[in-house]
Copies of this chain bind each other. A is one copy, B any other.
Amino acid sequence: MKKISIKDIWNNKIKINSLITIKGWIKSKRNSKLGFSFLSVYDGSHINNIQIIAKKKISNYNDILNLTTGCSVEIKGKLILSIGKKQKYEINANTIKIIGWVYKKESYPISLKKHSNSFLRSVAHLRPRTNLISVISRIRHFLSYEIHSYLNDNGYYLINTPLITTLNTEGSGDLFYINTKKDNKNNFFQKKAFLTVSGQLHLETYACALSKVYTFGPTFRAENSNTRKHLSEFWMLELEKSFSNLKNINIISEKLIKHLFKKVIEKCDSDINFLSNNINCNIVKKLKKDINSEFIKINYSEAIEILYKKNKLFNRKIFWGSEIYKEHEIYLTNNYFNCPIIINNYPKKIKAFYMRLNDDNKTVAAMDILFPNVGEIIGGSQREERLNILDLKLKEMNFKKKDYWWYRDLRKYGTVPHSGFGLGFERLISYITGIKNIKDLIPFPRTPKSAYF
**Which residues of A are at the interface with B, using a C-beta cutoff of 8 A?**
3, 5, 7, 23-26, 43-45, 70-72, 74, 99-104, 108, 110, 123-126, 128-129, 133-134, 137-138, 140-141, 144-145, 148-149, 152, 155, 157-167, 173-181, 184, 188-191, 193, 195, 202, 205-206, 208-212, 217-218, 220, 222, 224, 232-233, 235, 242-243, 385, 387, 406-407, 409-417, 442-444, 446, 448-453
Contacts of A166 in B (CB 8 A): 451-453
Return 18 A-B CB contacts under 8 Å, by A number.
Answer: A7-B155, A44-B210, A44-B212, A108-B413, A125-B406, A126-B205, A144-B148, A144-B160, A145-B148, A148-B148, A160-B218, A162-B444, A163-B218, A176-B188, A184-B184, A189-B232, A193-B451, A218-B218
The answer on a CB contact under 8 Å between B179 and A176 is yes
The answer on a CB contact under 8 Å between B180 and A178 is no
The answer on a CB contact under 8 Å between B414 and A72 is yes
In this complex, the member of A181, A209, A412, A450 whose beta carbon has the largest number of chain B beta carbons within 10 angstroms is: A209
The answer on a CB contact under 8 Å between A211 and B413 is no
Which of B134, B242, B387 is the one whose CB lies under 8 Å from A23? B242
The answer on a CB contact under 8 Å between B175 and A158 is no
Which of B44, B162, B202, B210 is the one whose CB lies under 8 Å from A233? B162
Question: Residue of B at shortest CB range from A24?
Answer: B211
The answer on a CB contact under 8 Å between A181 and B177 is yes
The answer on a CB contact under 8 Å between A202 and B444 is yes
Q: A5-B155, A157-B137, A189-B450 given as contacts; is B162 within 8 A of A205 (CB)?
A: no
Q: A177-B180, A189-B446, A416-B23 given as contacts; is B128 within 8 A of A141 (CB)?
A: no
The answer on a CB contact under 8 Å between A451 and B415 is no
Q: How far is the CA of A224 from the CA of B181 in the complex (A)?
A: 12
Q: A70-B414, A137-B210, A178-B195 given as contacts; is B43 within 8 A of A159 (CB)?
A: no
Q: How far is the CA of A178 from the CA of B446 in the complex (A)?
A: 13
Give chain B nearest CB distance to A306 CB in angstroms: 35
Question: Residue of B at shortest CB range from A233?
Answer: B164
Contacts of A452 in B (CB 8 A): 166, 191
The answer on a CB contact under 8 Å between B175 and A177 is no
Which of B145, B161, B451 is the one whose CB lies under 8 Å from A191? B451
Contacts of A180 in B (CB 8 A): 174-177, 222
The answer on a CB contact under 8 Å between B99 and A446 is no
The answer on a CB contact under 8 Å between B102 and A414 is yes
The answer on a CB contact under 8 Å between B161 and A444 is yes
Give chain B nearest CB distance to A172 CB in angstroms: 11
Contacts of A184 in B (CB 8 A): 177, 184
Contacts of A45 in B (CB 8 A): 155, 210-212
The answer on a CB contact under 8 Å between A205 and B125 is yes
Q: How far is the CA of A208 from the CA of B158 in the complex (A)?
A: 30
- Other contacts beyond A102-B412, A140-B158: 16, CB < 8 A: A43-B210, A44-B157, A44-B212, A99-B416, A99-B417, A103-B387, A126-B409, A128-B210, A137-B157, A141-B158, A160-B218, A162-B233, A163-B163, A184-B184, A190-B449, A191-B452
Q: How far is the CA of A297 from the CA of B306 in the complex (A)?
A: 70
Give chain B nearest CB distance to A353 CB in angstroms: 18
Q: How far is the CA of A338 from the CA of B195 in the complex (A)?
A: 41
